[in-house]
Structure formats: structure tokens, C-alpha cells
Structure 1
């Protein structure tokens, strides 16, 4: 197992900037437990990304500024995707995503610095990974359906919400991750 310099380990542990990742970060050789192709279905999301809001036409406006930085890395022998999402306004969230081979589902736990928790599960559907989960906010119970789809050299993440148990869905957000320039 390669070792990292002590300074890099300390910087990572206390939240300083870690070395930048290439836009499409390579996955380290997966642990034997996570070598099956199902574990690699979400690897398209690995990378160091700038985040842009998508407008109603389905595109990022030409002069749009990035609203967040998102880094997605493979950890624990390539078995887990770890996301660190930091918006310019201070909102920060992290997720841990794993393929649960015993149940044949993707599982994600998302937490934020605003006390939010979303636990979502789902599967690969075509080129996308689609996860659904329940959460609560000031308005009460909410279902969220989030999908990640490769788009060009980036990844589009869209989310729908339902306040009526999944009978109707409305847009929650639509963003595009583009490779962060290095």
C-alpha cells in the first residue's frame, strides 16, 4: 500500500485542500470484494468538478459562474464513492455511496452543514444512476428522486421532489458537473 506524506495526511484530516484530482480520476485497483462490474457502474462520477446550474432550456448559460466545487473520490479499496460538495455561499455536504451487492442496490447517505440527512437507494437505469429517498424539512416529509447521467465530459445531476408520497413530482434542482481546470 503506498504511503502518503505526513503533511498530506494531516492536511486531509483537518480539512485543508487536498491535491487536485484529474477530472476523470482513475479508480485504484478495487479490493477483491468490490471488483465485480456492478461496483464500477457509478465511476463516471469520479473527479474534481465545477458545478453549474442548468436553465429551463436544459443548458448552462454561456456566462454562468460555477456555484460549487465537487470532488468525488473512490475510497476504501474502491468500494465507496466519497463526495465533498462546497458551494460558494458556505453550504457544504458530503455523501458516501456504495453498491450493496447483497441487495443489488446503490445506497447513498448525504449529510450537510445545515443538519440535512438524505438516505437514498436505487439502481443503474440505462446510462444513469437513479436513487430515491425520504427526508424531512420545514415543510414536512419529502421524497427525492436524484439521477446522475454522464453528459459529454461532465455529469448532470437532476433531482425531483414529491410532497404527496410519490404521486406527483416537481423539479428540485438541475446541475451540471464540468471538469475543474487544473
Structure 2
């Protein structure tokens, strides 16, 4: 009897592990223009760092691995969420963590926004826009606001160029 139960359990585990996970929806590919190994430059041409963006979890997400020119690092996990029909990004660096949500605008740019409380207690809104250019580069514009979005300051403006 124990042998039969063990065989049934083994068969069930085999069947469950053999099931193919669902394929991601087409929206999960909206951010594919950002995938690759990149060098990132400021508007005046100075190298700001390097970024590797890779697909993960069978196409359900993107993993970002940022290394700034000064050696600091950051990572983000990006995923399309079918329930909310929005993209989510969870960014983590030595400076803290930030959750952003959003999606493609009418111009095909990825725009994500999130709020956090700064160390001085003030709420800050962050908006990051990724703009795919026809030459294969991507512009990332990170803006922040401390007045609820009435005015914006540029926190980062980088041009991504593929390595190699």
C-alpha cells in the first residue's frame, strides 16, 4: 500500500511539473526595446554607467542590473501585471527603494510613476520615461516633483547605446 501511494504521489508530482506555464500576453513585450547590454551617457556625452536588461521568468518580467560610473549599483524588477493592466517596477539601490507603475503612452514611450517619502519627510513623485529612438538608442528621463506634479526637475537624463 505504501509503495502504491508513493508511486501515485510521484506520478502527480511528475504531471504537475510537466505542465507548461501560461505564455505571457503580448503586453508583456511592450518594454522589449529596453532589453540588452547598454552603455549610458549624459546629454553632454559623459558616460554615466552601464545597464544590462534581460528577460526573465519565461518572458513575464525584465531584470535590470545598473552600475554607475562611480561604482554604485541598483537593480529593478519589471513586470506586466494582467490584473491591473499596468507595468510595475521595483527599483532598489543603496539610496533606497521605489515602486513605480504605468505603461505605454500614445507615442510608444514607457512612462512609470511612483511616490515615496524622502528622508526630510517630504513626499516626492518620480516619473521615469523610456523613449525608444529610431536609431536603436533609448533615452531614459527621470523627473521628480515635490509639489504633487505641478513642476518637475530632471533627476537623470541618459542615452542608452547598445554595447558592441
Q: Normalising by structure 2, report the TM-score.
A: 0.81
| RMSD (CA atoms) | 1.4
1:88 aligns with 2:69: yes
> By percentage of residues, which structure has more helix?
2
Compute the displacement of 1:105 (Å).
Answer: 0.4
2:28: which partner in 1?
39
2:111: which partner in 1?
130
2:86–2:101 contact (8 Å) kept in structure 1: yes
| Unaligned 5+ runs, structure 2 | 1-20
2:48–2:158 contact (8 Å) kept in structure 1: no
**How many pairs does the alignment contain?**
141
| Unaligned 5+ runs, structure 1 | 1-30, 55-60
5 Å-filtered alignment, 1:97-136, equals: 97-114=78-95, 116-125=96-105, 126-136=107-117
Q: Distance in 1 between matches of 2:75 and 2:130?
A: 16
Question: In the TM superposition, what whole-angstrom CA distance separates every residue of 1:56-113 from its partner, at most 9, and x where no partner exists?
Answer: xxxxx4xx34221100000110111000000121211000000011111000000003
Compute the displacement of 1:159 (Å).
Answer: 1.3
* Deviation beyond 3 Å, 4+ runs, structure 1: none
Q: Distance in 1 between matches of 2:149 and 2:46?
A: 33
